[in-house]
Structure 1
Amino acid sequence: MVCSNKLRLWIVVFLTVACTVWAGEVTIKNLVFPNESDNSYVELVPEIPLNLKAFTLCMRVATELQGKREIILFAYRTKDYDELNVWRELDGRLSFYLAGDGVLFQVPDLGGLETHLCVIWDSSSGASALFVNGRRSLTKIYKQDHTIKPDGKVILGQDPDSYLGDFETNQSFVGSISDVNMWDIVLSDGTIQDIYTEKRVPRGNIFDWQSIKFNINGAVQVVDRDL
């Protein structure tokens, strides 16, 4: 009986500790963009310069904007070019642009239910693809041998037509964005699927949402949430 009681006690202690650790690992910050604007945005501070020959960019996003409406999801601009922009197009397709014409994908549209979105690109082959809730799109060849240049600004919520300026209300993001992580390599399909299902994965070396630094402008709100 004594041994049985001790066993029960250890089980309770183990479960309590495990649940506490688990809860601490999945509490993240959620950025809420409440309305259309030309002044609400978040500037992300990268861990290393974005001098890239490959990348994986992931985020969780939800928006109720519908119809023929461009929506900027991620913007990285230097003084001269839009080096890396991710868009929801007028027709609902998702796309990304590297200093010029973009590559577009016919995938399920964004909506009020959260979507886990990842973008991958490799310069050596030009291979690019999207992952939507862990499912991979077809592969397209885009910008082979291109290099993304450093010394720019990364922002969420607005599309800068000049260096951190000239925002347009009708392209602004409305909704929520969280769990933005970025690597300077192309992650494997299995790793991206693990990120979607919230398993333990290598932390982003460009952006790590658990320790990310950012600057808020305008009406953006930060809400802590548990996944």
Structure 2
Amino acid sequence: MQLWDLKTELLNGLSHTGTKSSTFPAFYFPVENIESFVEVHPLRAVSLQAFTLCFWSRAQPVGSQTILSYSTGESDRELVVTVGSELGLWVGGHFLSFPLQQEARGWLHHCVTWASPEGRASLWLNGAAGKAQSVQKGYVSRAGGTLVLGKDRDALLGTFSNGFAGWLSQVNLWSRVLSAAEVRALALCRAGQPPGDVIAWGQTPMALLGGVLLQPDTSCQ
């Protein structure tokens, strides 16, 4: 299994794609490679009383696919987000489903928010808010786990499942709930938006494993 340092790959590899060096690339997860995922080293401990996860995805139609998985020794699904016919959200092992009305043919922008005091969870799709739900009121996620993109990790068995296939870009994770205006600005690709403080796209150390590729990011075109 090969391992790349993302910054090194970015500096050495972008000349082959013709992408401007100032533009951070998208991740491409080959559909035929079940071993491909991205290891993330978050900027702060993933002990969260609230969060917002935003990302652009262009998924292949192959069922439920994991965008982000955070697992600890006590909880395989401490924080997991999947896409497919629904957006699935696990917080502390408890699950919520947000139905997705449209089949993903091109790039889609998602933001998922959650806040502990009321357990309120919301999905924003292309800047439009869906109906809020409730899960894990009063919960705080546990620190010290493993954070990956593109696979659901079983911490006990050390195995991966529900792999993502397609393109993933502009993944940011904040330790707070973004406002409606902030979510819309991200969906509209407005410049100058602050990056996440847990995962900051293009700044957080990441390692690409199992054949994940860097390709030009066309999400905002």
Is the pair's TM-score, using the shorter chain for normalization, greater than 0.5? Answer: yes
Aligned mate of 2:146, from 149, 153, 162: 153
How far does residue 184 in structure 1 lie from its aligned partner after superposition?
A: 0.4
- Mark the CA change 1:58 to 1:110 in structure 2 (over 3 Å): closer, same or farther: farther
Q: Which runs of 5 or more residues in structure 1 are unaligned?
A: 1-22
Q: Is the 8 A contact 2:58 2:107 kept in 1?
A: yes
Q: Is the 8 A contact 1:120 1:186 kept in 2?
A: yes
Determine helix, strand or coil for the equivalent of 1:57: strand
Determine helix, strand or coil for the equivalent of 2:152: coil
TM alignment of 1:15-34, pairs within 5 A = 27-34=23-30
1:12-58 residue CA offsets vs partner (Å, 9 max, x unmatched)? xxxxxxxxxxx887x22200001243311101111101110000010
Aligned mate of 1:143, from 129, 136, 161: 136
Aligned mate of 1:130, from 123, 130, 134: 123
Q: Give distance in 2, aligned partners of 1:88 and 1:210.
A: 22
Q: Is the 8 A contact 2:28 2:166 kept in 1?
A: yes
Residue of structure 1 in register with 2:4 after alignment: none
Aligned mate of 1:39, from 35, 45, 50: 35
1:69-113 residue CA offsets vs partner (Å, 9 max, x unmatched)? 221111011122121001135xx1111001223111122345230
Q: Give distance in 2, aligned partners of 1:52 and 1:164.
A: 25
Paired residue type of 2:145: G
Q: Is the 8 A contact 2:110 2:123 kept in 1?
A: yes
Aligned mate of 1:77, from 47, 53, 71: 71
The answer to whether the aligner puts 1:190 opposite 2:184 as a matched pair is no
Paired residue type of 1:29: P
Determine helix, strand or coil for the equivalent of 1:194: helix
Give TM-score, length-normalised by structure 2. Answer: 0.83
Determine helix, strand or coil for the equivalent of 1:56: strand
Q: Which runs of 5 or more residues in structure 2 are unaligned?
A: 1-19
Q: Is the 8 A contact 1:119 1:130 kept in 2?
A: yes
Paired residue type of 2:82: W
* Percent identical residues: 27
Q: Is the 8 A contact 2:49 2:140 kept in 1?
A: yes
Q: Name the larger-Rg structure.
A: 1
Paired residue type of 1:190: A
Alignment: residue pair count: 198
Residue of structure 1 in register with 2:83 after alignment: 88
Q: Give distance in 1, aligned partners of 2:157 and 2:147.
A: 9
The answer to whether the aligner puts 1:115 opposite 2:101 as a matched pair is no
Q: Give distance in 2, aligned partners of 1:63 and 1:164.
A: 27
Give TM-score, length-normalised by structure 1. Answer: 0.81
Paired residue type of 2:179: S
Paired residue type of 2:44: I
How far does residue 165 in structure 1 lie from its aligned partner after superposition?
A: 2.4
Q: Is the 8 A contact 1:45 1:214 kept in 2?
A: yes
The answer to whether the aligner puts 1:103 opposite 2:96 as a matched pair is yes
- Mark the CA change 1:126 to 1:45 in structure 2 (over 3 Å): closer, same or farther: same
Determine helix, strand or coil for the equivalent of 2:183: helix
